[in-house]
Chains A and B, each alone.
Chain A
Amino acid sequence: MPPKQKELRFKPKRTGKMKIKALIFTFFISGLMSGQVSFDSKVSKRQLGINERLRVDFTMNKDGDDFEPPGFENFNVVGGPSQSINNSWVNGVRSFSKTYSYFLAPKKRGQFTIGQATIKIDGEVYKTLPVKISVSAAIDKPKDPNDPNYIASEKIHLVAEVSNTNPYLNEAITVVYKLYVAQGVGVRNSREIDKPRYSDFWSQNIDVEGLGAQQGTYKGEDYLYVVLRKTVLYPQKTGKLNIEPLSLDVTVEVPSNRRDVFGRSFMSTVNRRVSAGNRTINVKPLPEKDKPESFSGAVGSFDFKLTTNKKELRASEAFEVKLEVSGKGNLKLFRLPRLVLPSALEVYEPEHSEKVTTLISGMRGRITDSYTVVPNDPGNYPIPSVSFSYFDLKTKRYKTITSEQLVINVDEGPMNTSNNSSGAIVENVITPNLNQFSSFKTTTNLKPIHSKPFFKSNLFWLLLLTPFLLIPFTVFMVRNRMTRALDVTGNKIRKTNRLARKYLSAAKKSLGQKEQFYDALERALHNYLKSKFRLETSEFNKEKIEEILQNKKVNRSTLEGFISLLKACELARYTPLSTVDMQNDLDKASKVINALDKQLN
């Protein structure tokens, strides 16, 4: 509309008037809408046995002429057409409805279509939609559509809705029981006859607050429903598990055929027993693949923590170790991993606490085990890491959470004060402390690692056995000495030989030098006699010696030999002599001394 646009552009002041016009137009349209003509066909049921009857209503909200019913080729018209008109004024608004009703009996089995009915309203022709009807084999008892029990059975349904019919073991599923009530039927009272027992499940009922009716559909038709019960179930067994049905005794008000003066049908009250059918749940086992060792049946999504309230304390004080699992899943249905502590710690039984709320989606919250631990001795105590495994439903895999290893440092505990009973305050007495970790060693003496052990080495055997050889050796030596001591003559010979050697050794040294040699020889002879007879040097002369030797009854030849030797010593100072002579004299001296010695003893 370019001209109008132009107008708008050039006469902007008239826009207000335009708005009012638009408003009036909308009112008119809505008035038309409310006055819209409806012409519907409605059947009492879409499925029926061949021995049952069917009621078809054609309803319009405005009176018209020339109503033409459809053909009903496959049906016998048993009753009708009957007309009913409903005209009411409520709050000044008129509502009108006119119904043509037919009661039909099917002629044969099969799928049939009830065709279109036509009517002319305000000069326009309106048509209903065709309706499909299926006719089955005869049923035992033809259901009277007006029987209140039959209506109640058709219009009230108890349904158990299961969130997941193929869960894993320990995966939460919910069962919601809903009572569906068709419009036009009232429920006055309901009573549970049989409460279901969930024998192979861990179950928890969730309270339903108030029984508010809600809109819903049941098998494609509009219904009102009430949630009666919500239950969370954790299957505890694998395989096919049965959920027992819930049975209710319901008092139902059903409209009857009779009507009061205002055309409202009387309600008849019927007691009806409804039950939700058995439901079978197929529980899958958790996969065996990659199942961790620490898995203890937790399914869901969790967080795991290990905490202590102290990291440093004194001996004999208590501290707490807390294992906590928080999150969503079967929290009440598994055990927390066990804490393993060093044996030197005194550990008490854990205190178990649960803060779990059960919602329709399952349990959530936290469970904790808190251990009270008392160290009696100072030292470092490791708290080993603890692993917690669970099956994660989102990823369908096992997950393991491992806590960190903690170390508790325990210092020296309070000293035993009972000893100090005198009450005297003793300040800073340094006592030897045996309860303390010793420090490192500053010096060392390193040895080769693979040094041969002394034990069984050759040196060991040598040192162990040779001392014993000393014993026979010594014994032999001593024996030898004793036998020699017993051998007298041999001993003497050896002794004089030794003496002669002793006295003549000086002379022997100066062999060749005449003067010194004979001096030494003479002294040797004198010395020999001196030691033999204990004589003084001054007493020495040849005559005296001769006398003494004769007194001692020395052999004549030996005596002469001795004297001649002495003479030779004197003479030698004045005569030249060769070395050979000196040697002869030396030999002679030793012979004489030997002979003298023999005879003197």
Chain B
Amino acid sequence: MKQFLILWLICLVGFSQTNSSFEQANELYNSGYYKEAIEQYSSILDSNLHSAELYYNLANCHYKLNEIAPSIFYYEKALQLAPNDTDVLNNLSFAQKMTIDAIQEIPENGFSKLFNKTINSLSLDDWAISCVGLVFLFVLLFLSYYLSSSEAKKRLFFVSSSLVLILLVSSLGLLFKKDNIEASLRPAIVFAKETEVKAEPNLRAETSFTLHEGTKVQIIEDYNLDWSKIKLRNGETGWVTKAVLRNL
């Protein structure tokens, strides 16, 4: 208990320090010293602290310096923490304009589109929190139903509690589905200016296609220490060396 308290105190001190360095970095950014701002922001990351805003500002710096891959990388990082931030989405679209690869997504049908939209509207922890909230709401409504004496109240509480129960079950389903998806997805950003995607995990193999920096790919599997099998949004797959990628 005592150790925990000390740790907490240290954390608090750390927070105040890093908050001030976040502001310093913002000042540097605002005066146009992007390189220095990047250093300052990175120092916050080095102290094992992060936030969506930090990643977003860091990505903006890289964008201003025309560094495509890092800017997209950090925008994606920010989106992981705040999936619906309009600023992040807007600036990410700016950064994506700088990329060379144009990958057409496989068009989704209406249901799966809706499903994906719903599942991605909240982060994993947000889903977990909302599930807990729904559980409490359900129990409250159910007990009200059980305890209320009048027929009208009983009916009202019963209907509402069963609605909440349906909602709860479906969001629990989404929560576990999302967890499942996130465990299987390993997104990465291509950092090399230009890289050849091979048909097999060796350098002699035929080149399937060429990727340029800033493209987001999914890692499907690994081979040895050097090779990763990647999948593009349009469904194409191939092998690249790990050095050209950076995992999100």
A residues engaging B (CB < 8 A)?
340-344, 377, 379-382, 384, 405, 407, 434, 437-450, 453-456, 460, 463-464, 467-468, 470-471, 474-475, 478
Q: Are A381 and B50 closer than 8 Å at their CB atoms?
A: no
CB within 8 Å of A: which B184-234 residues = 193, 212
B239 within 8 A of A: no
Closest to A437 in B: B94
Q: Are B50 and A474 closer than 8 Å at their CB atoms?
A: no
Q: Are B193 and A467 closer than 8 Å at their CB atoms?
A: no
B residues engaging A (CB < 8 A)?
11, 15, 18-19, 22-23, 26, 29-30, 44-45, 48-54, 56-57, 60, 63, 66, 68, 87, 90-91, 94, 96-102, 124-125, 127-129, 131-132, 135-136, 138-139, 142-143, 146-147, 175, 179, 193, 212
Q: Are A342 and B26 closer than 8 Å at their CB atoms?
A: no
Tally of contacts, chain A with chain B, CB under 8 A:
126
Q: Are A379 and B127 closer than 8 Å at their CB atoms?
A: no
CA distance A463 to B60 in the complex (A): 39
Give 6 A-B contacts (CB < 8 Å), ordered by A residue. A344-B98, A439-B60, A440-B57, A449-B49, A455-B127, A455-B128
Asked, given contacts A440-B26, A471-B139, whether A446 binds B66 with beta carbons under 8 Å apart, the answer is no
Q: Are B131 and A464 closer than 8 Å at their CB atoms?
A: yes
A344-B96, A448-B48, A478-B146 are known; give 16 further A-B pairs, CB within 8 A: A340-B212, A342-B100, A380-B94, A381-B98, A405-B66, A437-B91, A439-B60, A442-B26, A444-B54, A446-B18, A446-B49, A446-B54, A447-B50, A449-B45, A449-B50, A474-B147
Asked, given contacts A440-B30, A455-B125, A470-B143, whether A464 binds B19 with beta carbons under 8 Å apart, the answer is no
CA distance A344 to B68 in the complex (A): 14
CA distance A340 to B68 in the complex (A): 15
CA distance A468 to B50 in the complex (A): 36
Closest to B138 in A: A467
Q: Are B97 and A460 closer than 8 Å at their CB atoms?
A: no
Closest to B143 in A: A474
Main secondary structure of the interface of A (DSSP, over half): loop
Q: State the Cβ distance, B24 to closest chain A Cβ, in Å.
A: 12
The 7 closest A-B pairs by CB, nearest first: A343-B102, A344-B97, A444-B53, A455-B128, A467-B139, A441-B53, A438-B87
Q: Are B146 and A474 closer than 8 Å at their CB atoms?
A: yes
Q: Are B48 and A449 closer than 8 Å at their CB atoms?
A: yes
Q: State the Cβ distance, B177 to closest chain A Cβ, in Å.
A: 12
Q: Are A384 and B97 closer than 8 Å at their CB atoms?
A: no
Asked, given contacts A440-B57, A442-B26, A444-B19, whether A455 binds B124 with beta carbons under 8 Å apart, the answer is yes
CA distance A456 to B129 in the complex (A): 11
CA distance A170 to B99 in the complex (A): 37
Tell me which residues across on chain A come within 8 A of B45, comparing CB atoms: 449
CA distance A478 to B143 in the complex (A): 11
